[in-house]
Amino acid sequence: MKFTLSWLKEHLETDASLDEISRRLTMLGLEVEGIEDRAKALAPFRIAQVVSAEKHPDADKLRVCMVDTGDGAAPLQVVCGAPNARAGIKVCFAPVGTTVPASGMVLKKGVIRGVESNGMMCSERELELSDEHNGIIELPEDAPVGASFADYMGLGDPVIDIALTPDRADCAGVRGVARDLAAAGLGKLKPLAADPVPGTFPSPITVTTETPGCPYYVGRTFRGVKNGPSPKWLQDKLRAIGLRPISALVDITNLVTFDVARPLHAFDADKVTGNIVVRMGRAGETLKALNGKEYALDDTMVVIADDAGAEALGGIIGGEPSGCTEETTTVFLEAALFDPLRVAATGRRLGIDSDARYRLERGVDPEAVVAGIEMASRLILELCGGEASELVFAGAVPEWRRTITLRPTRQKALGGIDLAVDDQARILADLGCVLTPNADGTFAVVPPSWRADIYGEADLVEEILRVHGYDFIPATPMDRAGTVTKPAVDARQRRTVTARRALAARGLSEAVTWSFLSTEVAGLFGAAHDGLVLVNPISSDLTVMRPSVLPNLIQAAGRNADRGFADVGLFEVGPAYRTPEPDGQDQIAGGVRAGNAVPRHWAEKERAVDAYDAKADALAVLDAAGAPAGNLQITTDAPGWYHPGRSGTLRLGPTVLGWFGEVHPSILDALKVKGPVVAFEVFLDKVPAPKKKGGTAKPLLTLSAFQPVERDFAFVVDRAVEADRIVRAVKGADKALIAGVGVFDIYEGAGVGEGRKSVGINVTLQPATATLTEQDIEAIGQKIVAAVVKATGGSLRA
């Protein structure tokens, strides 16, 4: 919402400076987004007159003009290329030394094709007044030579641009802004002229409304008017706030729209067939609107129709066929109330942003319908002549009065600031509220018709606080239950935090990637639930909620490799989605490694990433999350995006805690990423909560006084026998004595037989009560061998 300082002062009597007004507007919640002070930029530009214009001796398109700048000196010689540069016209002249706003160039005395030129005559585009650049500005004949161009054009006025929040319909008119400032003590609100224009004849056009979408409609016919360009003061006023003057009739409706936030529409009454009916649109109906576009209407839209069909979209835009032109002599003027939600919905559906929609969807003052039409009527009679009919009405002003009880104590209790009751009452009254004191010290407050946004006590508290000033609210520290604070996160949330730090400590970098991805990519990671496909995606790459955190990470690994960083370790702790319901979102710690795990290095053997790297990552996350690492089982049934022979599932009983392994080569092909890439996914929510054992103490540490003993075994087993089966068999041989089991060798080849392998196991025996004798060790060795043979069908390697 833009307005000029002088326009504001038409409504507000004030001595306040522009800075003070600007600061106060922002602190009233009418945030000043910018102040354009064109007087400064346009100060050097003067009104001048072309005394003579001769063709340039060496250029057909240039003219050599003598220009009287009104400073009493002899006319200046100026070379000009504009086709309209001719003797006698009044122009906007920029002397040497002036900065041209559009280009930022400083004018210098020049010689153009051998002829001296002292300054420039300007087009509107050069002054950033419009895009007009077909010729230089021609001013009216009575423009005073030598005067400031900006003053003459009414451009000397600073333009204030405020950002309006959606609740402040009233401040979509300058008067509303002035009222707020006056309430805030920055001046006095001037009275608004209210004398009605008496009708001299009955309106030949009558109105009816058939829809609750338009509860109230007021109209009036004018005859004998003469439309044409509006007077300069009106044009200047509109131009200053970025509106293009069109004709007197249209300019008047725009003026009222911006002055008192009362949109109007003027029909050319001669083009209206029969009477006006406000009704819902009909399927198949179309409207050619004033913006030149054709719209298909339907039964959700309020239209202003006549016998010929829809002539305007209620509260949004008028139609071209019934619009006013320079030839219009009979006018039908409309002011109406429309259902704000319907205006918003229709405007949104058709993509029409108009000044009328902006106001009507916020809700205009229901009591100002007639006042608006009268204000426009006075201007039409004054500027276009003719005579006005009596008003015609349809519907009625809906009841808007409501009474809110205000407890003045709430100002302190909710607003945090002690404010005298009188001050509170004064502020509300200045805003237009009607207050009646109740016996119990409260007030019955009736907010004004233009403030549909005020409907509760909290709204009144805000109004008082806002006008008094948020700056005066004292900052109060939050009180605390105790001096020592409790943890802010629970055990489940803490897992996410520790999982992140555990993975970063392992050399992986944390990524945060989109929750959505393309349908094709999602399909590689399992079929997406129908309810997870976006209805209105922002791009074809982001159409469905991700079923896994991996695809984004794999693609990110590929992008990093494309940039020359092939050795990648990335993880993300974030959501994957199974269903749209709250329990269908899983918190996943997932990661990928690509390229080399050990790079080329003088001391190390280069090694590509493999499934065991991913396994280690997954186990580290589970450990950090508090999973009982010793009880995990590993099965070989990871989902299809993993390499079927190089991947595993981490389980705790029947619960799947995660997967790890090499990413399936066909997935990498589909994502155009070079392998090998290994990955893991851990379901943090599935990790069981640590058992409460009553207290913070750890179990008592009992240390053995006796030397541990290490023994090695080698078993020959079928190639398919997993090492884990051997390790478990060994552990089970004597749970008390066997403290540790390691796998130190895997061998396949000569000596162990086709399809078989040798597995080297080292076992740590930790006696608790006495040093182990050779016989003890021999006996446990036999138990171990027997257990492994039984579990695997293998044999001790000879």
334 or 462: CB nearest other proteins: 462
Subset of 723-742 contacting other proteins (CB under 8 A)? none
Subset of 341-380 contacting other proteins (CB under 8 A)? 341, 344-345, 348, 361-362
SS (H, E, C) 421-453: HHHHHHHHHHCCCEEEECCCCCEEEECCCCCCC
C-alpha 510/C-alpha 570 separation (Å) is 6
Instruction: Provide the minimum distance between the beta carbon of 606 and other proteins in the complex, in angstroms, as a whole number.
Output: 10
Instruction: Provide the minimum distance between the beta carbon of 69 and other proteins in the complex, in angstroms, as a whole number.
Output: 39
**Residue 56 binds other proteins (CB under 8 A):** no
**Residue 214 binds other proteins (CB under 8 A):** no
**Residue 493 binds other proteins (CB under 8 A):** yes
Subset of 115-154 contacting other proteins (CB under 8 A)? none
167 or 623: CB nearest other proteins: 167
Instruction: Provide the minimum distance between the beta carbon of 50 and other proteins in the complex, in angstroms, as a whole number.
Output: 44
C-alpha 475/C-alpha 416 separation (Å) is 9
**Residue 527 binds other proteins (CB under 8 A):** no
How many residues of this chain bind other proteins (CB under 8 A)? 103
57 or 212: CB nearest other proteins: 212
Contact assessment for residue 575 and residue 515, using Cβ atoms and an 8 Å cutoff: yes
C-alpha 486/C-alpha 497 separation (Å) is 17
Cα angle, residue 386 at apex, residues 382 and 387 outer, rounded to 5°: 100
Q: Residue 6 belongs to what H/E stretch?
A: helix 5-11
Question: Which residues make Cβ contacts (< 8 Å) with residue 697, sequence separation at least 6?
Answer: none
C-alpha 788/C-alpha 715 separation (Å) is 8
**Residue 607 binds other proteins (CB under 8 A):** no
Taking CB under 8 A as the criterion, the residue among 111, 193, 283, 603 binding other proteins is: 603
Distances (CA, A) of 704 to 558, 730, 737, 770, 790: 52, 21, 11, 9, 31
**Residue 103 binds other proteins (CB under 8 A):** no
Taking CB under 8 A as the criterion, the residue among 512, 527, 770, 798 binding other proteins is: 512
Subset of 244-283 contacting other proteins (CB under 8 A)? none
Subset of 538-597 contacting other proteins (CB under 8 A)? 538-539, 542, 545, 552-553, 556, 559-560, 563, 565, 567-571, 573-575, 577, 580-582, 584-585
Subset of 660-679 contacting other proteins (CB under 8 A)? none
**Residue 487 binds other proteins (CB under 8 A):** yes
Taking CB under 8 A as the criterion, the residue among 198, 474, 630, 654 binding other proteins is: 474
SS (H, E, C) 128-142: CCCCCCCCCCCECCC
**Residue 212 binds other proteins (CB under 8 A):** no
**Residue 471 binds other proteins (CB under 8 A):** yes
> For residue 783, which of 744, 743, 736 has the smallest C-alpha distance?
736
| Residue 796 in tokens | 């001790």
**Residue 616 binds other proteins (CB under 8 A):** no
Q: Which stretch binds other proteins (CB under 8 A): 308-316, 371-379, 511-519, 691-699?
A: 511-519
- Please identify which residue in the block is written with the tokens 């590509």: 608
**Residue 444 binds other proteins (CB under 8 A):** no
**Residue 191 binds other proteins (CB under 8 A):** no
Distances (CA, A) of 215 to 211, 278, 758: 7, 10, 91
Q: Which stretch binds other proteins (CB under 8 A): 421-429, 536-544, 632-640, 695-703?
A: 536-544
**Residue 601 binds other proteins (CB under 8 A):** yes
Strand partners, 649: 635, 659
Instruction: Provide the minimum distance between the beta carbon of 135 and other proteins in the complex, in angstroms, as a whole number.
Output: 38
Strand partners, 738: 765
| Residue 215 in tokens | 């509860």
Instruction: Provide the minimum distance between the beta carbon of 535 and other proteins in the complex, in angstroms, as a whole number.
Output: 4
Helix/strand/coil for 573: strand
509 or 704: CB nearest other proteins: 509
Cα angle, residue 341 at apex, residues 338 and 346 outer, rounded to 5°: 85
How buried is residue 193: exposed, middle or buried, by Cβ count under 10 Å (0-12/13-18/19+)?
Answer: exposed
The one-letter amino acid code at 3 reads: F
111 or 475: CB nearest other proteins: 475
Contact assessment for residue 103 and residue 62, using Cβ atoms and an 8 Å cutoff: no
**Residue 530 binds other proteins (CB under 8 A):** yes
**Residue 475 binds other proteins (CB under 8 A):** yes
**Residue 414 binds other proteins (CB under 8 A):** yes
Cis, bond preceding 191 (omega within 30 deg of 0):
no
Contact assessment for residue 2 and residue 174, using Cβ atoms and an 8 Å cutoff: no
**Residue 504 binds other proteins (CB under 8 A):** yes
- Pairing type for strands 90-94 and 59-68 reads unpaired
**Residue 684 binds other proteins (CB under 8 A):** no
Instruction: Provide the minimum distance between the beta carbon of 102 and other proteins in the complex, in angstroms, as a whole number.
Output: 24
Instruction: Provide the minimum distance between the beta carbon of 27 and other proteins in the complex, in angstroms, as a whole number.
Output: 6
Taking CB under 8 A as the criterion, the residue among 312, 461, 618, 663 binding other proteins is: 461
- Please identify which residue in the block is written with the tokens 């003070």: 20
- Please identify which residue in the block is written with the tokens 């016996």: 439
The one-letter amino acid code at 88 reads: G
DSSP classification of residue 105:
P
C-alpha 570/C-alpha 509 separation (Å) is 5
For the chain, give the number of residues. 798
Taking CB under 8 A as the criterion, the residue among 73, 294, 536, 645 binding other proteins is: 536
The one-letter amino acid code at 766 reads: Q
**Residue 408 binds other proteins (CB under 8 A):** no
**Residue 531 binds other proteins (CB under 8 A):** yes
Q: Which stretch binds other proteins (CB under 8 A): 396-404, 481-489, 659-667, 759-767?
A: 481-489
Instruction: Provide the minimum distance between the beta carbon of 84 and other proteins in the complex, in angstroms, as a whole number.
Output: 41
Subset of 4-43 contacting other proteins (CB under 8 A)? 26-29, 31
**Residue 291 binds other proteins (CB under 8 A):** no
Greatest Cα-to-Cα distance within the chain, rounded to the nearest angstrom: 129
Taking CB under 8 A as the criterion, the residue among 306, 462, 662, 681 binding other proteins is: 462
- Please identify which residue in the block is written with the tokens 């944390």: 510
DSSP assignment of 370-400, as one string? HHHHHHHHHHHHHHH--EE---EEEE-PPP-
C-alpha 133/C-alpha 205 separation (Å) is 43
Taking CB under 8 A as the criterion, the residue among 202, 599, 753, 793 binding other proteins is: 599
294 or 471: CB nearest other proteins: 471
